[in-house]
């Protein structure tokens, strides 16, 4: 299936085509198709329900500071059956995880700072 056909199928399912993916496809169709194939593989039916997958991807988008992905994944989470409360809790968890990582990654610098005279 061509990229154009894949995009049309996505639109028929009520999904928006992310602009960065459109741009990638205009430059390198094979890379865009590979991305869509990877997405299809991880979102295929498996051990995790679709709602959980959507919320996990949303959390990753929040932790990675990806505004366009956050927007898209909030929509995907809602369409997958997540409640507003579940979406907000996912965002809060991602925010906490990111702040914990910042603290952890700062440990060496903070130790150095603590060893300095006042």
| Token representation of residue 51 | 């709602």
The sign of the dihedral angle between the CA atoms of 23, 27, 29, 34 is negative
Q: What is the pLDDT of residues 53-97, one digit of tens each?
A: 999 999 999 999 999 999 999 999 999 999 999 999 999 999 999
Query: pTM, whole model, 2 decimals?
Result: 0.81
Residues 6+ apart with CB under 8 A from 22: 7
Measured at the CA of 75, the angle between CA 46 and CA 14, to 5 degrees, comes to 80
Cβ–Cβ under 8 Å, residues 22 and 72: no
Q: With contact defined as beta carbons under 8 Å apart, do 31 and 57 qualify? A: no
Q: Give the Cα separation of 111 and 102 in Å (integer).
A: 14
């Amino acid at each position: 299936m061509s990229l154009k056909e894949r995009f049309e199928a996505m639109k028929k399912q009520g999904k928006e085509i992310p602009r960065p993916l459109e741009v990638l496809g205009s430059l390198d169709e094979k890379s865009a198709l590979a991305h869509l194939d990877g997405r299809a593989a991880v979102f295929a039916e498996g051990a995790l329900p679709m709602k959980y997958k959507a919320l996990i991807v949303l959390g990753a988008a929040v932790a990675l500071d990806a505004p366009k992905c956050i927007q898209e994944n909030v929509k995907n989470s809602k369409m997958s059956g997540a409640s507003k409360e579940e979406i907000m809790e996912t965002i809060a968890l991602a925010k906490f995880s990111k702040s914990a990582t910042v603290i952890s990654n700062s440990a060496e610098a903070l130790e150095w700072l603590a060893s300095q005279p006042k």
